[in-house]
Amino acid sequence: MTSTPRDLTADAPDPGALSLPDPGSGTGREPSRVLVVEPHPTLRTVLVQRLRQDGHLTAAVSRAVEALELCQDQSPDLLVSAEILDQSSALRLSEHLRCPVIVLTARTGAEPVVGLLDDGADDVLRKPFGLEELAARCRTLLKRGHTGLQERVTVGPLEVHLLLRQVTLREKPVELSPREFALLCALLMPPGLVRSRQELLRMAWPPFSGGPRSVDTQILTLRRKLEQAGLGEGGGITTVRQRGYRFSLDSLPGH
């Protein structure tokens, strides 16, 4: 007798299986799929129980290999994972699953958190943390994911592949940091719209992190990289006084 892989929509009482919320809950849209990967069994169970209270389809496993097996046919909308896993890591697993990740770390100090964010984590929580804070951060990231299902955005010769997190200009790759990539996406949805610094913080930074100066600094580096790639002066990003920033190629020569 052969076993079948667990499905992301299976309804089961076991914390390791994803279960649908009550269809009578009237959420108005399909529930989000959240995968928890946590070696500690008690914490794993508690996280599943709390996230299911918000109506998420939630599963929990202890190892990266189990997560990959579980998600063979469909990826989760969000991964909540311990930083260090057996022969893997939360960041590596999120790359395989192609989904945003909240990393749970036991390391102290600001440097590990900053490093994880720079390396691509969508958010970081330091253990021990409050369940309500985790739930709030999950809701924030999942709301971003429900704004659209586009795979790529194209503006003139610039193409942004959202799932692969790749940027090309005239089919040549443009190397951006995870934060620069998120900032460019925020400016491109849609292009031409003025975004305030606070909007850009909400869209491109994890909750409760960064500030207006962080936006200005990242805008400068993003502009420089787009200029160096050949997009023209300012990289298509203009400052709108007392309002924020906008992306447009209209004012660039040849566009």
CATH number at residue 239: 1.10.10.10
Q: What pLDDT is stored for residue 160 in this prediction?
A: 87
Q: What pLDDT is stored for residue 75 in this prediction?
A: 81
Statement to judge: residues 139 and 160 lie in one domain: no
Instruction: Give 85's contacts (C-beta < 8 A, 6+ positions apart).
Output: 37, 39, 63, 64, 93
Per-residue pLDDT of the chain (255 residues; tens, 9 = 90+): 333 334 333 333 344 444 333 333 334 456 888 999 999 999 999 999 999 988 888 999 999 999 998 888 778 899 999 999 988 999 999 998 889 999 999 998 888 888 999 888 999 998 888 888 899 899 888 887 654 445 678 888 999 887 577 899 998 999 998 888 888 988 887 778 888 888 888 777 765 567 888 899 999 999 999 999 998 888 899 999 889 999 988 755 555
Asked if 131 and 53 count as a contact pair (C-beta separation under 8 A), the reply is: no
Statement to judge: residues 160 and 51 lie in one domain: no
Residue 254 lies in a domain: no
Statement to judge: residues 54 and 132 lie in one domain: yes
Residue ending a domain, among 145, 171, 187, is 145
Which of 29, 45, 44, 35 lies closest to 6 in space, CA to CA?
35
Residue 59 phi, psi (nearest 5): -125, 160
Angle, vertex CA 93, rays to CA 117 and CA 39, nearest 5: 95
Q: What pLDDT is stored for residue 14 in this prediction?
A: 43
Statement to judge: residues 121 and 156 lie in one domain: no
Statement to judge: residues 189 and 226 lie in one domain: yes
Statement to judge: residues 138 and 35 lie in one domain: yes
Residue ending a domain, among 111, 145, 179, is 145
Q: Which CATH number belongs to the domain containing residue 112 in this structure?
A: 3.40.50.2300
Residue 193 lies in a domain: yes
Q: How many CB atoms lie within 10 A of CB 197?
A: 18
Which of 140, 189, 199 lies closest to 160 in space, CA to CA?
189
For the chain, what is the domain count? 2
**What is the distance between the alpha carbons of residues 210 and 221, in angstroms, rounded to a whole number?**
16
Residue ending a domain, among 122, 145, 168, is 145
Statement to judge: residues 129 and 165 lie in one domain: no
Q: What pLDDT is stored for residue 5 in this prediction?
A: 36
Statement to judge: residues 239 and 139 lie in one domain: no
Q: What is the pTM of this model?
A: 0.51
Statement to judge: residues 186 and 139 lie in one domain: no
Q: Which domain holds residue 76?
A: 23-145
Instruction: Give 239's contacts (C-beta < 8 A, 6+ positions apart).
Output: 245
Residue 13 lies in a domain: no
Q: What pLDDT is stored for residue 87 in this prediction?
A: 84
Residue 39 lies in a domain: yes
Q: Which helix (H) or strand (E) holds 192?
A: none
Beta bridge partners of 244: 240
Statement to judge: residues 226 and 192 lie in one domain: yes
Q: What pLDDT is stored for residue 163 in this prediction?
A: 59
Q: What pLDDT is stored for residue 43 in this prediction?
A: 92
Residue 126 lies in a domain: yes
Residue 7 lies in a domain: no
